[in-house]
Structure 1
Amino acid sequence: MDRLGIDPADFVAVDGDDAAATGGREPEAVEPMPVLAVVGRPNVGKSTLVNRLLGRREAVVEDIPGVTRDRIAYDGLWNGRRFTLVDTGGWEPDASGLQAAVAAQAERAMQTADAVMLVVDASVGATTTDEAVARVLRKSDRPVLLAATKVDDDRLTSDTAALWRLGLGEPHPVSGLHGRGSGDLLDAVLEVLPESPRDRFADGTGGPRRVALVGKPNVGKSSLINKVSGEIRSVVHDVAGTTVDPVDSLVELDGEVWRFVDTAGLRKRVRQASGTEYYASLRTRAAIEAAEVAVVLVDASEPMSEQDQRVINMVEEAGRALVLAFNKWDLVDEDRRLAMKRELERDLVRVPWAERVNISALTGRAVQKVAPALRTALESWDRRIPTGQLNGWLSEVIAATPPPVRGGKQPKVLFATQAATRPPTFVLFTSGFLEAGYRRFLERRLREQFGFTGSPIRISVRVREKRGRRS
């Protein structure tokens, strides 16, 4: 029984939002972990091996070379020890164009990891590319493991002995497809990995806040990651769809460390996607769910598309804080600004509360505004209103504008409480049904009084049941 004499058991949820009222999911703190970089030629089975070592399907795998293009970080666990696996694009020493950018990503992973695993196709043997990679790794001050993949049976086990000539120590035969030898390889990984990573961010908090970068293909997500981090973290190319997997990057922005996740561009209809696009779309959805705040990039130089609205709706429905970043602002002239104003009034009617910044990831224009917008949105997402203050405000609002009459009776709002944060979720205990329009009115007034800029709000209504209906 409530202190005001209200028993929640006497009320029934009527708007389908009962689950939201039970409490928000608190994201876990991100602890620093040692990093193992997985490198090698294209299509030697790195992503298949990564999935095997993780014990789950995370990395996108297809029977064509070059599917993995960026450095992609995954959390691994073996024998009670946690570590980070970084899957990389294929390493080609004489690559050009897009492949050169992929090779640079692999080299960067080798420089920043605590240990490196070189993956060689045992069925092919050591190629000139493998030898070139081995020469680079022998000069590194990081411990190096040599994994001989595609050893699916005993016939190839003896062939792995020839890989000693790479000068990287004992080759570990393993089958990413069947799991053969994966346990022994993981034991070897734990032997060379330090207990804690070499490079730490001294942010002094419980872990970086998680930010998902989402938007349609080729809108500039990877360019923004590279601009805010001050280095090439994600592969950028003028071909749409360069990013396939979500790419985690710890970035220091405006004096604070953030975990940015650069995701694949979302296509119009996930059901029509196949192969790489299908799995990339699923991982983009998962990245939004795992994030605390999403930055939706919109191409300001073009009319807002159906894909843009779909991505924004996806973030709002997931209950995540939201920042709208209108990219390519350097291409916007006065006529485009006037057209944009009309588009935003029409297309963003569901999220007028979203934080907005106008930026250019290419030139760096106003990218420093991203961090303050993220903080504002997250502060709203975490905000809790004391029950007494909430009910005092609500009484004044209802006295000035009572709920509309329904079925000849005027419903009364008996009590309100904030049931959860992340996102802020409010429960109204009433004597009758509240129209959707009146709930939207209360949401607008809530925002006027308490802010909540950048965060969605959930309002759940519980109607008191008649005593005779209870069994």
Structure 2
Amino acid sequence: MKPTIALVGRPNVGKSTLFNRLTRSRDALVADQPGLTRDRHYGHGRVGSKPYLVIDTGGFEPVVDEGILFEMAKQTLQAVDEADAIVFLVDGRTGITPQDKIIANRLRRSNQPVYLVVNKAEGMRSAVATAEFHELALGEPLSISASHGDGVRELMEMVLEHFPDAEEEPKVNHPKFVIIGRPNVGKSTLVNAVLGEDRVIAFDQAGTTRDSIYIDFEREGRQYTIIDTAGVRRRGKVDEAIEKFSVIKTMQAIEDANVAVLVLDAQLDISEQDATIAGFALEAGRALVVAVNKWDNLDNHQKETIKHEIARKLGFLDFAKFHYISALERKGVADLFKSIDDAYRAAMTKLQTPKLTRILQLAVERQLPPRTGPIRPKLRYAHQGGMNPPIIVVHGNALSKIPDSYTRYLENMFRKAFQLQGTPLRVQYKSNTNPFEKEATGTKPSLLVHKGRK
């Protein structure tokens, strides 16, 4: 399981800038204004062979006891409790502040290792930038520049030093599938329906499940693990008293599973949060099955309406199998389970290189990749680069010029040829070195190239 790193500090010390640097994204808003980040923000990062999850938090104001700053502080403390390691950011330009001292005292009481990081140290000698922060007594401070990237890799190598490398191909003895969705859509009821017993608490109140629950069981002579997760609330409601739910637990359960079962409530509108939860599974590359629950109490007009809403808002899940079920009445569960098996099989299938290359050649014959200027990409052969999800590596020349639309065309060709129902499919490109590439682009070739052609 990936280690979780929390970024903590007072407002405007550069936490979101560092988050974007670590995740190689622009997911977190960044501006020269304190308090811009309020909710916890989760992302994926990697240093060498070590992947990790990183949490961006709002500015930590530990002394307030009401208002938005108090809510932000609660979010930060929740992230501290979730994390395996804490990166405490301070501002090297401003220097040490009373807030920094209060935060340091609070972090010393946590059970996780704390790394003191002096940000905004570009153009400064490290010893000068970190000198006064030894007063915080959190070990040797490390100077970085999140905006320029100086020292960031060294920081993460230090943080991840004691965590194991990621396994290239984790051994899977039997299928694991995770039940995900918003609160109170019937996830625990579905778990009980699959198991055939009241194994987990199911109650008509949002937030009954507080953590991910792993249950091993046997069905028709085959071993499985089912994972029941807490409901993922809308942003800003994840810390209500009724539900101390942690998004990170669900994300970790998704990463640990082979198949994700997204549960929707047919009696509620399909929301942005449903799409967000599905996005968690897609980002992790997990096979997906969709269970539309509470279907039995709808009339025909309501059923057609919800199907239209699903097609409009969840169209990006066109590879997944949809089932309309009643977990409470245990209707449709057997067919749902068959799709879980099919999705697992598709995610873990081995794709033969000769057939992959034949399908690639057939796809190119039917539709050539578009030209970019004088260059047309040449796709030569393909092989499998990984499973769960299936990764297909295509070799050729000038492949960086291939547009996303053509990649989707190839994905559909491979999916149909291998009948990969229920799993996302990723196509990656690896361009071969072309000694005549300069000549093709109109650049004058070197004498060495001319000699080689004679």
Normalising by structure 1, we get a TM-score of 0.54
Contact 1:244 1:276 in 2 (8 A): no
Aligned residues: 277
Is 1:210 the counterpart of 2:176? The answer is: yes
1:452 has 2:420 as partner: yes
Given residue 450 of structure 1, which amino acid in structure 2 is its aligned partner? F
| Structure 2, gaps ≥5 residues long | 1-23, 26-44, 52-79, 84-170, 439-454
Aligned to 1:401: 367
Identify the residue that residue 330 of structure 1 maps to in structure 2. Answer: 296
Unmatched 5+ stretches in structure 1: 1-14, 26-55, 60-204
Select the structure with the greater relative contact order (CA < 8 A; seq sep ≥ 6): 1
2 CA distance for matches of 1:355 and 1:384? 21
The more displaced of 357-366 and 300-309 is: 300-309
2:202 maps to 236
- 8 Å Cα contact 1:330/1:360 also seen in 2: yes
Which AA in structure 2 matches 1:352? D
User: Does structure 1 residue 434 correspond to structure 2 residue 440?
Assistant: no
Q: Which amino acid aligns with 1:440?
A: R
Q: Deviations over 1:182-229 (max 9, x none)?
A: xxxxxxxxxxxxxxxxxxxxxxx9744211111000000111111222
1:377 aligns with 2:343: yes
Cα gap change, 1:270 to 1:463, in 2 (>3 Å):
farther
Cα distance in 1, alignment partners of residues 259 and 355 from structure 2: 27
Match of 2:247 in 1: 281
Q: Write the mapping of 1:295-444 to structure 2, written as runs, cut at 5 A.
A: 295-432=261-398, 433-444=401-412
Q: TM-score, normalised by structure 2?
A: 0.56
Structural mapping, 1:57-76, within 5 Å: none
Residue by residue over 1:204-257, the C-alpha shift from the partner in whole angstroms, topping out at 9 and shown as x without a partner, is x97442111110000001111112222221111111111001112223334433
Aligned amino acid, residue 292 of structure 2: F
Kindly tell me: are residues 272 and 375 of structure 1, through their superposed partners in 2, closer, same or farther at Cα, counting changes over 3 Å?
closer
Deviates more, 1:328-337 or 1:339-348: 339-348
Alignment-mate amino acid for residue 454 of structure 1: G
3-state SS, counterpart of residue 315 of structure 2: coil
CA distance in 2, matches of 1:275, 1:469: 62
Hey, what does 1:10 align to over in structure 2? none
Q: Rate the CA distance shift 1:261–1:270 in 2: closer, same or farther, 3 A.
A: farther
Match of 2:130 in 1: none
**Structure 1 letter corresponding to 2:396:** T
Q: What fraction of aligned residue pairs are identical, expressed as a percent? A: 32
SS of the residue corresponding to residue 374 of structure 2 reads: coil
Specify the SS of the correspondent of 1:329: coil
Q: Equivalent residue of 2:234, what SS?
A: coil
Aligned partner of residue 330 in structure 1, secondary structure: coil
The 1:285/1:276 distance shift into structure 2, 3 A limit, reads farther
Relative to structure 1, the CA distance from residue 316 to residue 306 in structure 2 (aligned partners, 3 Å threshold; closer, same or farther) is: same
3-state SS of paired residue (2:394): strand
Q: Deviations over 1:344-387 (max 9, x none)?
A: 22222222011222210111111111221111001100112211
Whether the 8 Å CA contact 2:411–2:425 is kept in 1: the answer is yes
For the residues of structure 2 that align with 1:275 and 1:282, how far apart are their CA atoms? 18
